[in-house]
Amino acid sequence: MYWIEEIHRKWSASIAHVFLLHFNVWDTVDGNASVIEYLMQSPLVSEREILICYNRSAGIWFPIPSHKKVLLEDLGLAASDSAGIEEIIPRDPVAALMLVEDALRLSVPDCNGGLRAKAAVIIDYAETLVPAAELAQMSPGDRTVLTTLLRWARDRQIADLGSPVFLVAENLSDVNRALRSASSRVEAVQVPLPDLEDRQRYIRALAEKYAIDGRPNMRDITVQQMARLTAGLKKLHVEDIFLRSGADVAVTPDLVKERKRDIISAEYGDVLQIIDPELDFGSIGGMENVKEFFRKNVIRPLREGNSRRCPTGVLMPGPAGTGKTILAEAVARESGVNCCSLNLAKIMNRWVGSSEANLEKALQCIEALAPTITIIDELDQSGLSRNSSGDSGVSSRLFKRLLEFMADDRHRGKVVFLGMTNRPDLIDAALKRPGRMDRKVPVLPPDEGERADIFRVVFTKYAISHALSGEELEAAAAATDGYTGAEIRALVLKAADVAEDAGSDTVKPEHLQYALEVFRPTTGDIDLMT
């Protein structure tokens, strides 16, 4: 668990003693312990004589009951009976943190003749104590709590002792901005979603745990396949899939996909959609030059780990109906990596802070899915730019955060953005610069040869029987000058309807000819978009 190693490294180097754990903090770690329980087992916490936990609901509590007596005796607050002890320990956040601070200043001699911290503190649901609100909007109590936590992080006595303090919150953006700033001395540590190998180990354990008659209750799916399909899910979610199986219901690919779709929708509010592409390049007619570009610059680099050649993002401008979205999904399929779709239009929310939280959660999931291809459709319609007005600067802040994420060089070769647009002239120039959308690959209406290829692919894809010769398909391609791939597909389906109405199960030349006469393209502004 490299996140716990990161904490130990930064604590040992005296970089920080106050840590803010976020993202996948309520998941199980090894199948038995939660993240907080796993943290308690680490030497940084378990070697302390006093471990204090606190949240607004439960107040101060002690995972090891004897620690309560030790603390009260050290502070000279011991009472004669248990009722008196309960009265001594306050529940109110301000008073409770004052008591906790006294504990953080306690010390014991170390083996080198110096002093070391005697207590460790874990505060969960930190966002309820220091919410992401403007200072003027916070209650006096919340402002006092915020000041107290900031003071702990900068306090020289507590820092010299190295008394570890852990704040736990699921969404980093829900925590007050002052605690997230670089000057706060509070180190934010992300607890990631389980990676592929971690999910494989956990699925094997669950398959054994929920076996029926000694056999794993899995049908038409292997452990490796299930691990791949569950990308983006927590371990709790993976176990939920097994819990929904039973004697009459086996774990199948359909069950996994259905539960994943429901879970992702509930977790990310439709802002992020995990995609399992079914089409490859063989299912797309034409665009050979574009396909070759993606093979050389995205697919092979992702497969081979060549991060230098892999672009951060590829902008795919072109008229509507030219197959940009299908092409992007096919690139993900050919690459063999995870694929998701980021819906920027749905990020905006009327509640203060919700939009920022939505984007942050989506970006965290994208990071956890790496290597991944992230599709952003209708990029020009997102409404995000540096010049947005009328929304108190929300759009501008969201746009800035997205630019920061895309420009982070640590994501090169791990996260590739594929942006589609009909109007690249409406996109902010900051998004189109190298380092964000590195490459621009126009996806234009097909030429005559590509249109003939698209006719063949559509007939095959929809299993439509036809009696058209190669010359007749080429003639149809010549008659559809200016048609997009979407319009050719609609034309073929129209011809199939005509054949069916005529009592034929095969599309014949006269059926296609009639469809050509009555079908009218509806895509507008193709010349402008081109």
Domain ranges of the chain: 2-191, 196-267, 281-440, 448-529
At residue 387, the pLDDT reads 65
Residue 156 CA to residue 375 CA, distance in Å, equals 47
Q: Helix or strand or coil: residue 426? A: helix
At residue 398, the pLDDT reads 85
Residue 431 CA to residue 408 CA, distance in Å, equals 13
388 band by pLDDT with thresholds 50, 70 and 90? low
The percent of residues in the chain predicted with pLDDT above 70, rounded, is: 94
Lowest-pLDDT choice from 21-25, 267-271, 286-290, 516-520: 267-271
Lowest-pLDDT choice from 19-28, 68-77, 230-239, 345-354: 345-354
Residue 55 CA to residue 93 CA, distance in Å, equals 8
φ, ψ for residue 529 (rounded to 5)? -65, -35
Cβ contact 375:418 at 8 Å: yes
Cis peptide leading into residue 446 (ω within 30°):
no
pLDDT in tens, 324-337: 999 999 999 999 88
Q: Which CATH number fits domain 281-440: 3.40.50.300, 3.90.180.10, 3.40.50.720, 3.40.50.1000?
A: 3.40.50.300
At residue 267, the pLDDT reads 79
81 band by pLDDT with thresholds 50, 70 and 90? very low
At residue 40, the pLDDT reads 95
In Å, how far from its chain's centre is CA 76? 48
Q: Is the pLDDT of residue 148 over 60?
A: yes
At residue 95, the pLDDT reads 95
At residue 270, the pLDDT reads 64
Q: Which of 192, 145, 158, 138 is nearest to 24 (CA)?
A: 192
Beta bridge partners of 313: 417
Q: Is the pLDDT of residue 384 over 80?
A: no
Give the mean model confidence (pLDDT) for residues 417-430.
91
At residue 345, the pLDDT reads 75
Average pLDDT, the chain: 89
pLDDT in tens, 397-420: 888 889 999 999 989 999 999 999
260 band by pLDDT with thresholds 50, 70 and 90? confident
Residue 521 CA to residue 104 CA, distance in Å, equals 73
φ, ψ for residue 20 (rounded to 5)? -115, 105
Q: Which of 117, 118, 173, 186 is nearest to 146 (CA)?
A: 186
At residue 355, the pLDDT reads 78
Lowest-pLDDT choice from 74-78, 171-175, 252-256, 468-472: 74-78
Lowest-pLDDT choice from 42-56, 270-284, 473-487, 488-502: 270-284
Q: What is the CA radius of gyration of the chain?
A: 29
At residue 235, the pLDDT reads 94
Lowest-pLDDT choice from 20-24, 50-54, 395-399: 395-399
Cβ contact 184:177 at 8 Å: no
At residue 371, the pLDDT reads 87
Residue 381 CA to residue 426 CA, distance in Å, equals 9
Residue 76 CA to residue 123 CA, distance in Å, equals 24
pLDDT in tens, 30-40: 777 899 999 99
Q: What is the DSSP string of 103-163?
A: HHT-EEE-TTSSEEE-EEEEEESGGGTSBS--GGGS-HHHHHHHHHHHHHHH-HHHHHHT-
φ, ψ for residue 359 (rounded to 5)? -65, -45
Number of C-beta neighbours around residue 175 at 10 A = 25
At residue 225, the pLDDT reads 92
Lowest-pLDDT choice from 8-22, 298-312, 354-368: 354-368
Q: Please, what CATH class does the domain formed by 2-191 belong to? A: alpha beta
pLDDT in tens, 349-364: 655 567 777 888 888 8
At residue 76, the pLDDT reads 87
282 band by pLDDT with thresholds 50, 70 and 90? confident
Q: What is the pTM of this model?
A: 0.76
**Orientation of helix 470-478 relative to helix 448-461, angle to 10°:** 120
Lowest-pLDDT choice from 24-28, 282-286, 371-375, 456-460: 282-286
- CATH architecture of residue range(s) 448-529: Orthogonal Bundle (1.10)
318: left (phi over 0), alpha (psi -120 to 50) or beta: left
Give the helix ranges, DSSP H, for 336-432. 354-369, 394-407, 429-432
Q: Check for a shared fold between 2-191 and 281-440.
A: yes
pLDDT in tens, 186-217: 999 999 889 889 999 999 999 999 999 889 99
Burial (CB < 10 A; 0-12, 13-18, 19+), residue 263, is buried
Domain 196-267 in CATH 1.10.10: no
190-206 residues labelled b (16+ CB within 10 A) or e (exposed):
bbbbbeeebbbebbeeb
Cβ contact 18:185 at 8 Å: yes
* Whole-number Cα distances in Å, 159 to 13, 96, 97, 181, 376: 11, 20, 17, 18, 45
Q: What does the DSSP 8-state code read for residue 346?
A: G
Give the mean model confidence (pLDDT) for residues 367-372.
84
